[in-house]
Structure 1
Amino acid sequence: MSFIINRRQFLKTVALSAIATEIATEFRQIAIANPFLKTPSKPPRLKVGDTVGLINPASPIDAKDIAQVQQTLASLGLKVKLGKHLLDRYGYLAGSDRDRASDVNAMFADASVKAIVAVRGGWGCNRILPLLNYPLIQASPKILIGYSDITSLLLAIYAKSGVVTFHGPVGTSTWNPFTVDYVKRILFNGEAVTMQNPPNASFKAEIITPGKARGKLVGGNLSVLVAMVGSSYLPDWRQSILFVEEIGEEAYRIDRMLTQLKLAGILEQISGFIFGQCTDCQPKDNQPSLTLSQVLREHIQPLGIPAWYGSQIGHIKDKFTLPVGVPVEIDANRNTIRMLESSVK
């Protein structure tokens, strides 16, 4: 009899253990899949006197551009360290893929460098994604800021390492009071700010679908993002707020790119949508065209998620600094992006 009881107890213990293992595995899978259950890795905040590394991972620049960027960063109380291959040229690229990637890796490996600023965008960042040292980046999180083609680095580093990155000015941007104010409050002060277009903004925001939503903030330049679809360098889109911006693309091209996001199943996963500015996106030669507003409404309204067009994001002088990977709440009625926590330590 005792043998039967012990055998029953044994089998019961094994069954419970198997169930517990299955539950634990399920929770691990949920934690991996659900961005709200993953804690992003936040880089240390900037301080006056810190050294900032300059990289140029996309298109080439001139020496005069470096002097301008050094002056801009010096006005913020920052020192500058130049990437080894900063002035390289290889056709329309700022040096070979390996050299451009090595500058990125070197800046993350350099303990004296506290933040990394891309000098300009252009084209080329997608090419170096397989060459980046993501375990190194994960072990040494630092502020990385830029926009346009730098979208590739921002999204890939967040997706692969979990480190929060920043969609904001590149070195050659216009660092005016509006732009600098957000850089200081978010990267230096560590504030959880609410971003809203100023009353005197040149572009009036348009509501696509009213309402509020919460999610991890992800996005960047639309064409660069679309060029990454199908790769392993994009983050999980579930419960995310997608923001995009563009320059020099007519409405039919925006239509084509949003259609690709739709067909890839990305749009149906997001919780909210923000289209920033579309600079120089008018139809050419008076050709018949849908308006950009029509295109956005046709793609986004059926999703039934809060959305608007016209935020201070893009190839414009007055830019928000957007933390990629940080939880936010958006309000389409008021056109606001409210950070729910600091993006730096």
Structure 2
Amino acid sequence: MRIVAPACTPDREHVARGVEVLTSWGLQVELGEHVFDQWGYMAGRDADRAADLNSALRDPGVRAVFAAMGGKGTYRIVAGLDVEAARHDPKPVVGFSDITHLHLALWNQCRLAGLHGPYPNPSDEGAVWAESLRRALMTTDPIVLHQDADEATAEVTVEGTATGVLIGGNLDAVRTEAGAGLPSLEGAILFLEHQKGTGLGEVDRALTQLARSGSLDGLRWVALGQFLGFEDIASDPTQGGWEITDVLRDHLARLGVPVLGGLPIGHGRYPSMPLGTQATLDTAAGTLTVEPAVC
């Protein structure tokens, strides 16, 4: 497997610890040439980041591609993906947040499934990080995520069951790809999570853009992960008493589809979950069961 940096520059110590864990599983780990480059806030120039990614996609000895870091910049290089290489020699890309751009582009252009999974930094959740990733990457067992009532989005659940291809990831990335690299969501399950650092209005803008662009047409089910950074927002008098659940409910209720909220996955927890494979959503059981991205 190979670690590349399509977005921001990772911490060397974090990558070293991640390599140690992955190597302990019997994997041979390589680093892309430009992983630790820096150009502004990105891991090197666009051409260099794209070259590392495409080199990994083209190399028959590489069986999985890990993103070293998220942040910003992946959206700048998705148009230059070697889609033919990905189609000819399928291999999962692992990452989340800004790496959602890669997941969407690779599914849209060559139906390549990937893993919404952590960066190679085992300091996050320790053994939980490692075991979840190992299972998703190295077994063909389905992945089952259980609703956590303590997650804010659990309150947005709308009863129903569904089966379809699971598509999505970080809301900002999904919104950015609307009208560009976002695949059709006809009959799909849309998974969304959101990072800290933005207000209710930004979530509102993102969901409005997706709706107005027609990107949500034909969507039949929604799975919600973590939406972080809104814990105390109801006490802000400028918000009129609204919380993140109010914004999500206001938009998603218009779709008239089942919604399973409260999935413990996103920028605060790091279980690995396939994207681009068949999934079954069951609000009564509070589960999202996803078929593997590897075979």
TM-score (structure 2 length as normaliser) = 0.91
Alignment partner of 1:268: what SS? coil
Amino acid at match of 2:256: G
The offset of 1:314, in angstroms, is 0.7
Amino acid at match of 1:196: H
Match of 1:166 in 2: 115
> Is residue 95–residue 115 contact of structure 2 (8 Å, CA) maintained in 1?
yes
User: CA distance change for structure 1 residues 242 and 204 in 2, over 3 Å: closer, same or farther?
Assistant: closer
Spell out the pairing of 1:103-114 with structure 2 (5 A cutoff): 103-114=52-63
Match of 2:143 in 1: 193
Amino acid at match of 2:193: E
1:315 to 263, 267, 274: 267
Match of 1:54 in 2: 3
User: How many residues matched?
Assistant: 290
User: CA distance change for structure 1 residues 166 and 263 in 2, over 3 Å: closer, same or farther?
Assistant: same
Alignment partner of 2:133: what SS? helix
Match of 1:16 in 2: none
Amino acid at match of 1:324: L
Matched, 1:249 2:177: no
Match of 1:34 in 2: none
Match of 1:79 in 2: 28
Alignment partner of 1:267: what SS? coil
Alignment partner of 2:39: what SS? coil
Alignment partner of 1:122: what SS? coil
User: CA distance change for structure 1 residues 132 and 293 in 2, over 3 Å: closer, same or farther?
Assistant: same
> Is residue 117–residue 146 contact of structure 1 (8 Å, CA) maintained in 2?
yes
Amino acid at match of 1:320: P
Matched, 1:329 2:268: no
The offset of 1:89, in angstroms, is 0.7
User: CA distance change for structure 1 residues 134 and 271 in 2, over 3 Å: closer, same or farther?
Assistant: same
Residue deviations 1:3-46 (CA, integer Å, cap 9, x gap): xxxxxxxxxxxxxxxxxxxxxxxxxxxxxxxxxxxxxxxxxxxx
The offset of 1:342, in angstroms, is 3.5
Once the two structures are overlaid, the 10-residue window that deviates more, 278-287 or 186-195, is: 278-287
**Separation of aligned partners in 2, 1:210 and 1:62:** 43
> Is residue 221–residue 244 contact of structure 1 (8 Å, CA) maintained in 2?
yes
Spell out the pairing of 1:277-316 with structure 2 (5 A cutoff): 277-282=226-231, 283=233, 286-289=236-239, 290-316=242-268
**Separation of aligned partners in 1, 2:128 and 2:152:** 15
**Separation of aligned partners in 1, 2:83 and 2:45:** 19
Amino acid at match of 2:114: T
Q: CA RMSD in A?
A: 2.1
Matched, 1:91 2:40: yes
Amino acid at match of 2:264: Q
Matched, 1:179 2:179: no
The offset of 1:186, in angstroms, is 2.5
The offset of 1:197, in angstroms, is 4.0
User: CA distance change for structure 1 residues 118 and 249 in 2, over 3 Å: closer, same or farther?
Assistant: same
Alignment partner of 2:163: what SS? strand
User: CA distance change for structure 1 residues 171 and 182 in 2, over 3 Å: closer, same or farther?
Assistant: same
TM-score (structure 1 length as normaliser) = 0.79
Percent identical among aligned pairs is 32
User: CA distance change for structure 1 residues 266 and 172 in 2, over 3 Å: closer, same or farther?
Assistant: same
> Is residue 207–residue 332 contact of structure 1 (8 Å, CA) maintained in 2?
no
Match of 2:159 in 1: 210
Alignment partner of 2:249: what SS? helix
> Is residue 54–residue 119 contact of structure 1 (8 Å, CA) maintained in 2?
yes
Alignment partner of 2:227: what SS? strand
Amino acid at match of 2:266: G
Match of 1:240 in 2: 188
* Stretches of structure 2 lacking an aligned partner (at least 5 in a row): none
Residue deviations 1:193-245 (CA, integer Å, cap 9, x gap): 3221468x6668224311111111000110111111111x2212101000111
> Is residue 129–residue 153 contact of structure 1 (8 Å, CA) maintained in 2?
yes
**Separation of aligned partners in 2, 1:276 and 1:331:** 15
User: CA distance change for structure 1 residues 178 and 67 in 2, over 3 Å: closer, same or farther?
Assistant: closer
User: CA distance change for structure 1 residues 191 and 172 in 2, over 3 Å: closer, same or farther?
Assistant: same
Residue deviations 1:62-107 (CA, integer Å, cap 9, x gap): 3323212212322333221010111111011110111000001111
Match of 1:48 in 2: none
Alignment partner of 2:77: what SS? helix
Spell out the pairing of 1:25-174 with structure 2 (5 A cutoff): 52-172=1-121, 174=124
**Separation of aligned partners in 2, 1:211 and 1:122:** 34
